[in-house]
Chains A and B, each alone.
Chain A
């Protein structure tokens, strides 16, 4: 397949930083892992509102949104993001990564996130969270 064709068919991922937190080392490393695996990884930059993230997701036609939260409060931010994605008509799975406790993981799962990728996750875990599956 030509490079152009395979790029056009590549899985598109938005890796987003929500809230005020400036720690984006993990988010950037995730982008590199995804790119090395042949996906298109778009990094949102810092301090995005959920409205902006949903907007980018729509504009970029992404297949999955990754939310990076390193300063706690992942459940609140994720709830807000899911609502905003819905309002934008963007129906893609959401992966949450960063500092996420066990209890928060359970709550996020209930909210319907596809996967939680905690700090310290390895490459295999990251790829499994974002790769295409039969459902999406």
Chain B
């Protein structure tokens, strides 16, 4: 039997960032807090849509993707058959970094954390038998987002689906890569140029695509607390909006296609209030700072749910219970799309069964409970309205501090401020778990001897790499090499100019140039980013 640590055993008494949680809240606690308002009305605290889930349930969008395009295609079809209502694609690291599957540096990484995509042929295989007219797709892709968008558009053309109809989301959030996630390729300025090119091109060509999913989740997973994750995320968002405004784009137009990824952990009410505060904060920023008048540009639309870090390898079945709590939390938050991390995430790429179980958590909450029956059911709660106001206050204060100290988020990033905050907070969180101040069931409380967590459930084999090498050999042999060469030359030209790169990328993609070839040409012009120093 286990020993709990020295701390008295009770629920948390403080929020993650140090606010006291009172044992009892009453009407006096919400004096002076902003009124909840109504869903679908500025500032959208209670949700972006007037009828919320009664009008349209959240999209059940489990993140998936691994191995070869064929395997991913099978998994997508299985998930859609199980009731998933939108796709969310995980790409392997070589694809995210613009390397082909047979690149020497890709050696141990092909098809491991997501699906390997080296050319349009792979994207065609992923969506084989999946009509782009019937589903929307979220792509966790950043540095190579223009290439993936061009591929998705090309697949639509081959399916005879008009580009005006295809929908989904591109993560396309490079600033958080520099702060927390590390999957950048080019430098900050070039990354912002590419972001703007993509937003501009999509606005004209694929207007139903959300062109960026500005993400807090990775910033949090790297160590930030809730206030820091939201402050840094909104500062990143402001940077994007300003970049696009500077380019002459209309905030009322592109603003309606920005979205957010704010998945959370199990600090339940802190997470729910984070989302409510996020909607209110963003609406204020868009209306007051950027002058947006279109409500669709003011509203904060969110993909969220339960992130990976609450899942621990010890006593893995506990994670199933965590999934259920996460699904309840997500539904209470008023999210537009939800992913619940499957229980085996700590030690495997989730299986079809575990991903389906995560979907079932969403479905049980949606259809068996009345949580989704009414919009923002927690509105008016003394605790919830107080905490929402407190989070809003603390997030805005940190944002103001960064802007006053550094002038801009770009400068703050250059000087390492968010990076160092994150590293410091990660260590603080580690110490809190180490001391038992933060309790994790099965880890530092109620741990059991003989817990043997690291079972292997799914790992890609060497046959994935062999299959990919064969595909690429065949591709290079069967395509029109002259067309590829011309397309790449045109792309190099365009990158060096001020023209939008997307048309040149589209031509390269449609000529079956590989992601490695395309990224290579772009890197010739832009150079590759190297961190100047480490923040530990």
Contacts and interface: CB of A to CB of B under 8 A. Distances in A.
Interface of A: 19-25, 28-29, 31-33, 41, 43, 45-47, 49, 71-73, 76-77, 99-103, 105, 118-120, 122-123
A20 B106 contact: yes
Interface stretch (B73-81, B292-300, B451-459, B512-520): B451-459
A99 B223 CA distance: 18
Contact of B452 (A28, A45, A73, A102): A102
B454 A25 contact: no
B426 A28 contact: yes
Nearest to B94: A20
Given A29-B426, A43-B536, A101-B456, A120 B312 contact: yes
Contacts of B277: none
Contact of B107 (A24, A29, A47, A76): A76
Interface class of chain A by DSSP: loop
Contacts of B182: 21-24, 46-47
B369 interface: no
5 contacts: A21-B182, A25-B222, A73-B112, A99-B346, A123-B430
B366 interface: no
Interface string B423-447: 1001100100010000000011000
Nearest to A75: B108
Contacts of B459: 72, 101
Interface in B186-245: 221-223
Contacts of B108: 19, 72-73, 76-77
Given A20-B93, A20-B97, A22-B181, A32 B454 contact: no
Contacts of A49: 105
Contacts of B113: 21, 71-72
B223 A19 contact: no
Interface of B: 93-94, 96-97, 99, 105-109, 112-113, 177, 181-183, 221-223, 312-314, 346-347, 423, 426-427, 430, 434, 443-444, 452-456, 459, 531, 534-536
Contacts of B222: 23, 25
Contact of A102 (B109, B223, B434, B454): B454
Contact of B347 (A20, A46, A99): A99
A83 to B, nearest CB: 13
B147 to A, nearest CB: 17
A29 B444 CA distance: 18
Nearest to B440: A120
Nearest to B114: A71
A76 B104 CA distance: 13
Considering residues A28, A46, A72, A76, which has the most beta carbons from chain B within 10 angstroms of its beta carbon?
A28
Nearest to B422: A25
Contacts of A31: 536
Most buried by B among A24, A49, A99, A103: A24
Contacts of B455: 101-102
Given A45-B531, A45-B534, A101-B347, A118 B454 contact: yes
Contacts of A28: 423, 426-427, 535-536
A103 B456 contact: yes
Contacts of A71: 93, 109, 112-113
Contact of A43 (B107, B314, B427, B534): B534
B109 A20 contact: yes
**Taking each of B105, B177, B454, which has the highest tally of chain A beta carbons within 10 Å of its own beta carbon?**
B454
Given A20-B93, A102-B455, A119 B313 contact: yes
Contacts of B456: 101-103
B346 A119 contact: yes
Contacts of A118: 313, 453-454
Q: In this complex, which of A41, A73, A100, A103 has the most chain B Cβ atoms within 10 angstroms of its Cβ?
A: A73
Nearest to A22: B182
Given A33-B430, A99-B346, A122-B434, 10 more contacts: A20-B94, A20-B109, A29-B427, A43-B534, A72-B108, A72-B113, A101-B454, A101-B455, A102-B455, A120-B453
A25 B313 contact: no
A25 B223 contact: yes
Contacts of B535: 28
A135 B122 CA distance: 51
A123 B108 CA distance: 29
Given A29-B426, A32-B427, A45-B534, A21 B313 contact: no
B224 to A, nearest CB: 10
B228 to A, nearest CB: 14
Nearest to B452: A102
A33 B426 CA distance: 12
B300 to A, nearest CB: 26
Nearest to B93: A20
